[in-house]
Amino acid sequence: MNTKLSRKSFIVLEFFNGLSALAGGFGLMTNPDGKALGLDVHMLSGTPFSSFLIPGIVLFVVNGIGNSVGTVLSLRRHKMAPYIAAFFGFVMMVWIVSQVAWIGYRSFLQPLYFGAGMAQLIMAYIFVVKNSKHQ
């Protein structure tokens, strides 16, 4: 696999995951009833939340800011970047599994973002393994 292409793809994926979490989290924080994003607060009836405010904050801070910082570190080729990307890829997968467990399958976006988190985790692992062989 072309290293430049795979690194660019990895960074684009990490950026996409961060940016979409920032947008979604911001939308939930500013409209905690969820209506602006086509959600209904009644979806949360089996969860500890009465609105989308706390999930929005978590989404924005953890997945959004976390992946955005990871993207910057990846662009700068920081030695910890693949580990941070792997962590936040895993966090995204846990986020989606938790979401489906609490509110059920609601949208094609759930498997899409689970897959995006998994792809980020796998690509980060590949970079870690590849770099360890070159040391």
Q: Any idea where the domains of the chain sit in the sequence? A: 3-133
Residues 6+ apart with CB under 8 A from 87: 66
From first to last of its 135 residues, what are the pLDDT tens digits of the chain? 556 658 888 899 999 999 999 999 999 999 999 999 999 999 999 899 999 999 999 999 999 999 999 999 999 999 999 999 999 999 999 999 999 999 999 999 999 999 999 999 999 988 877 766 655
**DSSP tally for the chain: helices H, then strands E:** 5, 0
Asked if 91 and 117 count as a contact pair (C-beta separation under 8 A), the reply is: yes
Query: Rounded to two decimals, what is the model's pTM?
Result: 0.89
What does R_g of the chain's alpha carbons equal in angstroms? Answer: 16
Sign of CA dihedral 67, 69, 72, 74: negative
> How far is Cα 89 from Cα 95, in angstroms, rounded to an integer?
10
